Amino acid sequence: MSEQYPVSDFFRAVDGFDVYRSSKLIVAFVVVESDYGKQLRLYRWQNRNGSWKVDLCRMSVDRWNWSEISAKISSLCAKYSIGGITS
């Protein structure tokens, strides 16, 4: 799993899924484990000269209200006819 998600040496990637992946960019939600337990984190990596580097995002998101976020995203998509969801 760590090969798939190049997290820092402080964490061990346990599981995750890609939001987006190309040869130059990975955006993913990853469950990581450290001496302090498990966390759900949002990452964005950029491939720079053949090496994956954390780009703009590497934050814990396990305390976010996912139901509320999903409802707000669905509402915006419907309101603006984005992603196949219409009002």
pLDDT of residue 3: 73
C-alpha 43/C-alpha 16 separation (Å) is 10
Residues in the chain: 87
Q: Which residues pair with 47 in a beta bridge?
A: 52
pLDDT of residue 2: 59
The CATH fold assigned to 12-79 is: Transcriptional Co-activator pc4; Chain A (2.30.31)
C-alpha 87/C-alpha 13 separation (Å) is 38
The answer to whether residue 66 scores a pLDDT higher than 80 is: yes
The answer to whether residue 87 scores a pLDDT higher than 60 is: no
Sorted by where each begins, the domain ranges of the chain are: 12-79
C-alpha 87/C-alpha 62 separation (Å) is 30
Tens of pLDDT, residues 11-55: 999 999 999 999 999 999 999 999 999 999 999 999 999 999 998
> Of 2-11, 59-68, 76-85, which one has max mean pLDDT?
59-68
C-alpha 33/C-alpha 10 separation (Å) is 9
pLDDT of residue 56: 81
What is the value of pTM for the model shown?
0.82
The answer to whether residue 1 scores a pLDDT higher than 70 is: no
